[in-house]
């Protein structure tokens, strides 16, 4: 009665327009490579709705300009990419062109994917041909006028897009180059972590410098020491991406989803390469001066912290690894933008679960019994104690976040 | 007519400690497992939110985590001449509901039973011969300490039990409980810190020549990653512990130690809010073919399975066996039959002490934070000439004096008004209590059966408890309480109020949820229901696991042993039954 777990390679599903692709064992290897790369690129984040068939699209992205939906990228000829050739796919990844030269919006991060090597795109395309074809029409462009006019993207691309495959830096190690390739390319870390200009393009002079999206702060993950992840070692970075938790932090919000769907499945060597790349050039930065402990908000915040926070996060802000995030010297804590912090205090948050870290602890919501002032004070205290230093949080900031969280 | 579903490898009924442990162990064999739970899915992150978990009205007074009595209750009577009446509100005990079961609201005290318990009848007969009262129907468990110890160790590592060993591989350890059976290793976590009242008690006990030890606690003393990779945080002594779910991931329960891992396994499915109605037996009565259950919409289904594990609370384990016709119902008149046999309880005693010059800060505490002594427990002292056997675990474990329930006032204080308020103020912080959680030994007339009158909402008879404290246990209670009173006296309180268990069992005041027996384990199918692997005699693909398997109750809390039995049953299934399905022991 023992159930045998069988692995179905699914190569039978290769469709006819893959005639130029390799066959037999090569094909199997190619598809498996593609499977890994789509996981690495976290394609499901935008292309698979929870509970719906893989890659059948429909995930709504709330951009500052309006709504876009992830396309159906199953091999369905009518509603998916079943009629695409590999060159069409290569064009989408590399140039941001859809079928027949239609311009794609930057929410499909071709500004990063342009760096993906052609051979990797071949593997991804081969794999996508093996998934179940799903008839599901998705209206990808749900933007209001004038943003819904795709020709506007010509100008956008001129300002924000540099086409071209990743070029290794000859003076850096192979590992560093692999890390750079993953972070800047398929991993598309900058899509969330790089601040955006007025028209939604990446501010590449502040690559990975931290950004706010959909009400969450994607913190600075550059090697800058104070509010970046400068205090994290390479091992800390690998552990975080592999398990969702390390001695500093526990992933929550969109990053918890990323860990669950993507980075926990990355090969260790790839995670190590990412860490080596992110840590390159790390040097201690001058920490700003914290707000004085006798400041009225600090005094009030300290009392609230002792009563409501210290049982889990511990009186010295050290927390418990993998369970209660460390508040001392956390990148999110020192971020100039406190909106994620306000959000988790007011509305709570749940960590992602991985096989390596299955606990999935939660931050309870305190919005119902802490006032705007209380939240502002306790966060001001946390952001300026135990070596932290960051601007004070105002009750107005808290009010704004509450407003954003109100169901619309 | 129940709709028949596709068959599965294993059904597990009840997702408390026992069911969750077994389901997780069997899932590792690759078996397809469906776990059934009559209550909701509970989870620390969503159900035990730090900002709302410490709500005494909700959890202690209104008993949110307990089974609703209108869903299912028991009837009770003291002896066979009485007509049993249903318990419409829980008093004497607190059956749980939902994933985690009663293991969510337990205190966390994690004793192991002693080696002689597993052959108690033989052991006491050898030692006291004819002195042993014929009133008692004590039995051996059909297993041994050596067979139990590895499974206790597995539970310790799962729950992160915090304590100090008293005996490692036969070498007595200073500071631990020297009466415990030889452990294979030290506790996985050191003892918790102690509050003032237990510290004072331990000093007094030591001065009288006793050997106090930290009570073994499943409220972990430090951050701990358990044997399945699940994280727990150190207990904060928040004082909302027994009757509450833990918001700090500190109190071990199935939801804080097993279910986060189990629910990730693709070959495990949980069906919550699904009440199992009966076990389906084939026409020969020697094989369980599955179970019938009702889902939250009131629709009935039959879930066939190759292996059926019943691991609900003791009452439902025994009732399901009676309702499904498994085993012969026990008859106290003829002393035949096994289903319902050897029901026993726990004998609760205490001495309360009022002081003038102490401040115990009693709001600080946890269910298992305390110090104990074992000199008056079980057979740790010579009972020759005393006229009874058994004893109790003596300890001070202040669980946290919450504002509604904790109003310690001396006898004679008015029950309300300004005098009562003044007495509350005067005594709240300066009162402590020494408890003695004592054994409950089985008799021929204490048993479980189906009630002839009262039914549950599905029309099935309720379980009827016929129980009274045996004469043996009352004598024991008087003796151990007098011993505890000597210690209390040495602490010089202004006033002492000893409360030994006397008289008849009264189901109204809370005493203990440590209820045992009714489907007991043993070596002889004539006097037991399951063999030492928790496999039902004569129905090899049916296992019934829980405190229902205890032939009597020693002076210890049962949870550690329930969990060890779950590991033991799972181990037998994994290493023996799956290789050769059938009776693992033939008689």
Q: Three-state secondary structure along B460-471?
A: CEEEEEECCCCH
Contacting residues of B for A1, CB less than 8 Å apart:
9, 31, 306-307
Q: Using CA atoms, how far apart are residues A86 and B495, in angstroms rounded to an integer?
A: 89
- More confident call, B193 vs A404: B193
Whether B289 has its CB under 8 Å from any CB of chain A: the answer is no
**Closest residue in chain A to residue B225, using alpha carbons only:** A322
Cα angle B276-B280-B286, degrees, rounded to a multiple of 5? 135
Q: Using CA atoms, how far apart are residues A168 and A178, in angstroms rounded to an integer?
A: 8
**Closest residue in chain A to residue B52, using alpha carbons only:** A364
Question: Are the C-beta atoms of residues A319 and A325 closer than 8 Å to each other?
Answer: yes
pLDDT of chain B along its 587 residues, tens only?
799 999 999 999 999 999 999 999 999 999 999 999 999 999 998 899 887 899 999 999 999 999 999 999 999 999 999 999 999 999 999 999 999 999 999 999 999 999 999 999 999 999 999 999 999 999 999 999 999 999 999 999 999 999 999 999 999 999 999 999 999 999 999 999 999 999 999 999 999 999 999 999 999 999 999 999 999 999 999 999 999 999 999 999 999 999 999 999 999 999 999 999 999 999 999 999 999 999 999 999 999 999 999 999 999 999 999 999 999 999 999 999 999 999 999 999 999 999 999 999 999 999 999 999 999 999 999 999 999 999 999 999 999 999 999 999 999 999 999 999 999 999 999 999 999 999 999 999 999 999 999 999 999 999 999 999 999 999 999 999 999 999 999 999 999 999 999 999 999 999 999 999 999 999 999 999 999 999 999 999 999 999 999 999 999 999 999 999 999 999 999 999 999 999 999 87
Least confident of A3-17, A130-144, A380-394, B534-548: A3-17
Q: Which two tokens stand for residue A352?
A: 């992602």
Among B110, B551, B482, B512, residue whose Cα is nearest residue B346: B512
Contacting residues of B for A366, CB less than 8 Å apart:
51
The reply to whether B233 falls in a domain is yes
Q: Using CA atoms, how far apart are residues B443 and B446, in angstroms rounded to an integer?
A: 6
Mean per-residue pLDDT, A335-345: 91
If phi > 0 it is left, if psi is from -120 to 50 it is alpha, else beta; for residue B318 that is: alpha
Among A210, A226, A245, residue whose Cα is nearest residue A289: A226
**B contact test, residue of A321, A352, A364, A368 with most B CBs within 10 A:** A364
Contacting residues of A for B238, CB less than 8 Å apart:
311
Q: A3 and B232 in contact by Cβ < 8 A? A: no
Q: Using CA atoms, how far apart are residues B320 and B309, in angstroms rounded to an integer?
A: 12
Strands B542-544 and B300-310 come out as parallel
Helix, strand, or coil here: B443? strand
Among B576, B573, B560, residue whose Cα is nearest residue B534: B573
E strands in A35-94 = 60-63, 66-69
CA A214 to chain CA centroid, Å, is: 12
Among A312, A187, A341, residue whose Cα is nearest residue A253: A341
The answer to whether the peptide bond before residue A146 is cis (omega within 30 degrees of 0) is yes
What are the DSSP calls for B32-91, one per residue?
A: -EEEE-SS----HHHHS-TTTS--HIIIIIS-TTBPPTTT--EEEESSTTSPPEE-SS--
Q: Which two tokens stand for residue A124?
A: 């991804």
Question: Are the C-beta atoms of residues B504 and B241 closer than 8 Å to each other?
Answer: no
> Annotated catalytic, B383?
no
| pLDDT score for A52 | 92
Helix, strand, or coil here: A142? strand
**B contact test, residue of A7, A307, A315, A358 with most B CBs within 10 A:** A358
Residue B129 distance to chain A (closest CA, Å): 50
Question: Are the C-beta atoms of residues B122 and B129 closer than 8 Å to each other?
Answer: no
Q: B51 and A320 in contact by Cβ < 8 A? A: no
Q: Which two tokens stand for residue A22?
A: 């390799």
Contacting residues of A for B50, CB less than 8 Å apart:
311-312, 364
The CATH number assigned to the domain holding B320 equals 3.50.50.60
Q: Using CA atoms, how far apart are residues B272 and A185, in angstroms rounded to an integer?
A: 44
If phi > 0 it is left, if psi is from -120 to 50 it is alpha, else beta; for residue A240 that is: alpha
Q: What b/e sequence results for A69-107 when a residue is b if at least 16 CB atoms lie within 10 Å of its CB, and e otherwise?
A: bbbbbbbbeebbbbebebebbbbbbbbbbbeeeebbbbb
User: Chain B neighbours among A 348-377 (CB < 8 Å)?
Assistant: 348, 350, 353, 355-362, 364-366, 368-369
Q: A323 and B231 in contact by Cβ < 8 A? A: yes
Q: At what angle do helices B145-159 and B559-572 cross, to 10 degrees?
A: 110
If phi > 0 it is left, if psi is from -120 to 50 it is alpha, else beta; for residue A162 that is: beta
Residue B50 distance to chain A (closest CA, Å): 6
Total-model pTM: 0.89
ipTM score for this prediction: 0.85
Whether B268 has its CB under 8 Å from any CB of chain A: the answer is no
Residue A10: pLDDT band (50, 70, 90) is very low
Whether A294 has its CB under 8 Å from any CB of chain B: the answer is no
Q: Is the dihedral of CA B405, B411, B417, B420 positive or negative?
A: negative
Cα angle B23-B28-B30, degrees, rounded to a multiple of 5? 100
**Closest residue in chain A to residue B223, using alpha carbons only:** A320
**Which ranges in A73-117 belong to alpha helices (H)?**
86-95, 110-113
Contacting residues of A for B31, CB less than 8 Å apart:
1-3
Q: Which of B94, B105, B116, B514 is catalytic?
A: B514
Among B482, B383, B494, residue whose Cα is nearest residue B434: B482
Question: Are the C-beta atoms of residues B112 and B560 closer than 8 Å to each other?
Answer: yes
Residue A284: pLDDT band (50, 70, 90) is low
**Closest residue in chain A to residue B30, using alpha carbons only:** A3
How many percent of chain A have pLDDT more than 90?
57
The reply to whether B90 falls in a domain is yes
What are the DSSP calls for B199-216, one per residue?
A: HHHHHHHHHTT---EEPP
Number of residues that this document lists for chain B? 587
Q: Which two tokens stand for residue B177?
A: 């409980």
Q: B229 and A320 in contact by Cβ < 8 A? A: no
Q: What b/e sequence results for B65-89 when a residue is b if at least 16 CB atoms lie within 10 Å of its CB, and e otherwise?
A: bbbeeeebbbbbbbeeeeebebbee
Q: Count of CB contacts below 8 A, A vs B?
A: 77
CA atoms within 13 A on the CB side of B167: 12
Q: Using CA atoms, how far apart are residues A327 and A330, in angstroms rounded to an integer?
A: 6
Contacting residues of B for A244, CB less than 8 Å apart:
none
Q: Using CA atoms, how far apart are residues B100 and B430, in angstroms rounded to an integer?
A: 35
Question: Are the C-beta atoms of residues B544 and B343 closer than 8 Å to each other?
Answer: no
**What is the overall mean pLDDT for chain A?**
87
Q: What is the dihedral of CA A115, A117, A123, A129, to 10 degrees?
A: 50
Q: Using CA atoms, how far apart are residues A391 and B36, in angstroms rounded to an integer?
A: 51
Q: Phi then psi for A291, rounded to 5 degrees?
A: -65, 140
Q: Is the dihedral of CA B399, B401, B406, B409 positive or negative?
A: positive
The reply to whether B509 falls in a domain is yes
Residue A360 distance to chain B (closest CA, Å): 8
Q: How does DSSP classify residue A11?
A: G
The reply to whether B411 falls in a domain is yes
| Number of domains within chain B | 1
CA A120 to chain CA centroid, Å, is: 21
What is the SS3 assignment for B468-493? CCCHHHHHHHHHHHHHHHHHHHHCCC
CA atoms within 13 A on the CB side of B510: 11
Contacting residues of B for A358, CB less than 8 Å apart:
228-230, 260-261, 264
Q: How does DSSP classify residue B192?
A: P
Contacting residues of A for B260, CB less than 8 Å apart:
353, 358-360
Residue B226 distance to chain A (closest CA, Å): 10
| pLDDT score for A258 | 93
Q: B264 and A4 in contact by Cβ < 8 A? A: no
Q: Which two tokens stand for residue A394?
A: 């105002």
Q: A3 and B30 in contact by Cβ < 8 A? A: yes
The reply to whether B587 falls in a domain is no
Tell me how far CA of residue B576 lies from CA of B286, B327, B571, in angstroms: 19, 23, 8
**Closest residue in chain B to residue A6, using alpha carbons only:** B30
The reply to whether B585 falls in a domain is no
Contacting residues of A for B49, CB less than 8 Å apart:
348, 362, 364-365
Q: Using CA atoms, how far apart are residues A385 and A290, in angstroms rounded to an integer?
A: 7
Residue B391 distance to chain A (closest CA, Å): 38
Q: B51 and A357 in contact by Cβ < 8 A? A: no
Give the domain range for residue B348: 3-577
A99-113, A161-175, A190-204, range with greatest mean pLDDT: A161-175
Q: A353 and B264 in contact by Cβ < 8 A? A: yes
Q: Using CA atoms, how far apart are residues A396 and B6, in angstroms rounded to an integer?
A: 57
Mean per-residue pLDDT, A308-328: 93
- Nearest Cβ partner of A2 from B30, B223, B225? B30
Q: B49 and A368 in contact by Cβ < 8 A? A: no
Domains of chain A and CATH, by start? 11-160 (no CATH), 174-279 (1.10.760), 296-405 (1.10.760.10)
Contacting residues of B for A357, CB less than 8 Å apart:
229, 231
Q: B50 and A324 in contact by Cβ < 8 A? A: no
| pLDDT score for A285 | 66
Whether B49 has its CB under 8 Å from any CB of chain A: the answer is yes
Q: B233 and A312 in contact by Cβ < 8 A? A: yes
Q: Which two tokens stand for residue B86?
A: 């249903």
Mean per-residue pLDDT, A24-29: 76
Tell me how far CA of residue B155 lies from CA of B12, B24, B105, in angstroms: 19, 13, 18
Burial degree of B52 (CB within 10 A; 0-12, 13-18, 19+): middle
Q: Which two tokens stand for residue B94?
A: 């607190």
**Closest residue in chain A to residue B53, using alpha carbons only:** A364
Q: B45 and A322 in contact by Cβ < 8 A? A: no
The reply to whether B584 falls in a domain is no
Q: A369 and B51 in contact by Cβ < 8 A? A: yes
Contacting residues of A for B54, CB less than 8 Å apart:
none
Residue B312 distance to chain A (closest CA, Å): 24
Number of H helices, E strands in chain A: 16, 7
Q: B49 and A364 in contact by Cβ < 8 A? A: yes
Q: Using CA atoms, how far apart are residues B447 and B315, in angstroms rounded to an integer?
A: 11
The reply to whether B474 falls in a domain is yes
Whether B238 has its CB under 8 Å from any CB of chain A: the answer is yes
Please measure the distance between the N-terminal and C-terminal CA atoms of chain B and give it in whole angstroms.
Answer: 38
Whether B336 has its CB under 8 Å from any CB of chain A: the answer is no
| pLDDT score for A2 | 40
Q: A324 and B233 in contact by Cβ < 8 A? A: yes
């Amino acid at each position: 009665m023992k159930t045998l777990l069988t692995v179905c390679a699914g190569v039978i599903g290769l469709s006819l327009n893959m005639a130029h692709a390799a066959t037999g064992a090569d094909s199997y290897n190619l598809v498996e490579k593609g499977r890994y790369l789509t996981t690495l690129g976290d394609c499901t984040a935008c292309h698979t709705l929870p509970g719906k068939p893989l890659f059948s699209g429909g995930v709504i992205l709330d951009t500052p300009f309006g709504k876009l939906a992830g396309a159906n990228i199953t091999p369905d000829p009518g509603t998916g990419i079943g009629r695409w050739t590999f060159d069409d796919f290569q064009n989408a990844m590399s140039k941001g062109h859809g079928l027949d030269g239609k311009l794609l919006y930057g929410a499909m991060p071709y500004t990063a994917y342009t760096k993906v090597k052609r051979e990797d795109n071949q593997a991804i395309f081969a794999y996508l041909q093996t998934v179940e074809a799903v008839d599901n029409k998705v209206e990808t462009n749900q933007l209001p006028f004038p943003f819904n006019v795709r020709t506007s993207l010509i100008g956008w691309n001129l300002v924000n897009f540099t086409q071209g495959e990743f070029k290794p830096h000859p003076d850096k190690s192979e590992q560093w180059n692999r890390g750079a390739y993953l972070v800047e390319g398929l991993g598309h870390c900058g899509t969330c972590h790089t601040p955006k200009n007025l028209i939604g393009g990446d501010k590449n002079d502040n690559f990975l410098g931290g950004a706010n999206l959909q009400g969450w702060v994607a913190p600075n993950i550059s090697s800058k020491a104070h509010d970046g992840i400068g205090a994290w070692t390479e091992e800390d970075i690998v552990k975080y991406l592999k398990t969702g938790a390390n001695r500093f932090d526990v992933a929550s919000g969109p990053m918890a989803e990323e860990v669950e769907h993507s980075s926990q499945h990355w090969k260790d060597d790839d995670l190590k390469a990412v860490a080596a790349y992110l840590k390159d050039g790390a040097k201690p930065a001058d920490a700003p001066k914290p707000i004085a402990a006798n400041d009225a908000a600090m005094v009030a915040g300290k009392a609230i912290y002792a009563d409501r926070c210290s049982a889990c996060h511990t009186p010295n802000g050290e927390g418990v690894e993998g369970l209660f995030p460390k508040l001392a010297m956390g990148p999110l804590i020192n971020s100039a933008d406190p909106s994620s912090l306000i959000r988790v205090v007011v509305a709570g948050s749940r960590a992602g679960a991985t096989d390596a870290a299955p606990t999935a602890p939660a931050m309870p919501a305190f919005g119902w019994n802490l006032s705007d002032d209380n939240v502002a004070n306790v966060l001001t205290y946390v952001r300026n104690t135990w070596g932290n230093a960051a601007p004070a949080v105002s009750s107005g900031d808290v009010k704004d976040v509450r407003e954003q969280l109100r169901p619309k | 007519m129940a709709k028949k579903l596709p068959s599965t490898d294993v059904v597990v009924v009840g997702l408390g400690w026992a069911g969750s442990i077994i389901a997780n162990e069997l899932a590792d064999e690759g078996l397809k497992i469906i776990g059934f739970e009559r209550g909701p899915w509970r989870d620390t992150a969503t159900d035990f939110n730090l900002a709302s978990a410490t709500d005494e009205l909700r959890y202690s007074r209104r008993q949110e985590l307990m089974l609703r009595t209108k869903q299912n209750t028991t009837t009770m009577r003291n002896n066979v001449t009485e007509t049993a009446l249903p318990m419409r509100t829980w008093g004497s005990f607190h059956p749980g509901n939902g994933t985690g079961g009663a293991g969510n609201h337990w205190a966390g005290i994690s004793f192991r039973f002693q080696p002689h318990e597993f052959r108690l009848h033989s052991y006491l007969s050898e030692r006291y011969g004819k002195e042993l009262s014929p009133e008692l129907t004590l039995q051996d468990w059909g297993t041994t300490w050596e067979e139990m110890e590895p499974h206790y160790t597995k539970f310790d590592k799962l729950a992160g039990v915090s304590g100090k060993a008293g005996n490692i591989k036969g070498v007595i350890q200073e500071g631990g409980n020297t009466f415990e059976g030889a452990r294979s290793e030290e506790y996985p976590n050191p003892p918790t810190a102690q509050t003032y009242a237990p510290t004072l008690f331990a000093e007094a006990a030591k001065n009288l020549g006793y050997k106090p030890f930290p009570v073994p606690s499943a409220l972990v003393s430090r951050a701990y990653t358990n044997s399945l990779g699940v994280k727990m945080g150190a207990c904060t002594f928040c004082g909302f512990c027994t009757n509450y779910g833990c918001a700090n991931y500190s109190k071990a329960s199935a939801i804080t130690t097993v279910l986060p891992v189990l629910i990730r396994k693709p070959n495990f499915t949980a069906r919550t809010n699904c009440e199992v109605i009966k076990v389906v037996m084939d026409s020969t009565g020697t094989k369980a073919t599955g179970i019938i259950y009702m889902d939250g919409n009131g629709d009935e289904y039959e879930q066939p399975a190759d292996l059926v594990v019943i691991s609900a609370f003791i009452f439902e384990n025994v009732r399901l066996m009676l309702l499904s016709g498994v085993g012969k119902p026990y008859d106290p008149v003829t002393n035949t039959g096994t289903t319902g046999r050897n029901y026993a309880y726990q004998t609760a005693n205490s001495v309360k002490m009022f002081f003038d010059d102490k401040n115990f800060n009693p709001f600080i505490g946890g269910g298992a934070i305390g110090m104990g002594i074992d000199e008056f427990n079980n057979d740790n002292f010579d009972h020759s000439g005393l006229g009874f056997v058994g004893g109790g675990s003596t300890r001070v474990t202040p669980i946290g004096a919450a504002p509604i329930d904790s109003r310690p006032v001396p006898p004679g204080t008015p029950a309300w008004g300004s005098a009562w308020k003044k007495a509350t103020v005067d005594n709240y912080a300066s009162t402590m209590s020494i408890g003695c959680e004592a054994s409950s030994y089985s008799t021929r007339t204490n048993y479980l059966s189906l009630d002839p009158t009262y039914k549950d909402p599905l029309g099935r008879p309720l379980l009827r408890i016929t129980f009274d404290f045996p004469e043996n246990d009352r004598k024991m209670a008087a003796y151990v309480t007098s011993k505890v009173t000597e210690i209390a006296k040495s602490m010089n309180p202004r006033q002492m109020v000893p409360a030994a268990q006397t008289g008849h069992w009264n189901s109204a005041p809370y005493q203990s949820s440590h209820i045992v027996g009714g489907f007991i384990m043993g070596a002889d199918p004539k006097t037991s229901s399951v063999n030492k692997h928790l496999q039902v005699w004569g129905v090899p693909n049916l296992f019934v696991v829980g405190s229902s398997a205890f032939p009597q109750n020693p002076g210890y809390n049962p949870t550690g042993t329930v969990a060890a039995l779950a590991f033991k049953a799972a181990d037998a299934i994994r290493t023996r039954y799956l290789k050769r399905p059938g009776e693992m022991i033939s008689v």
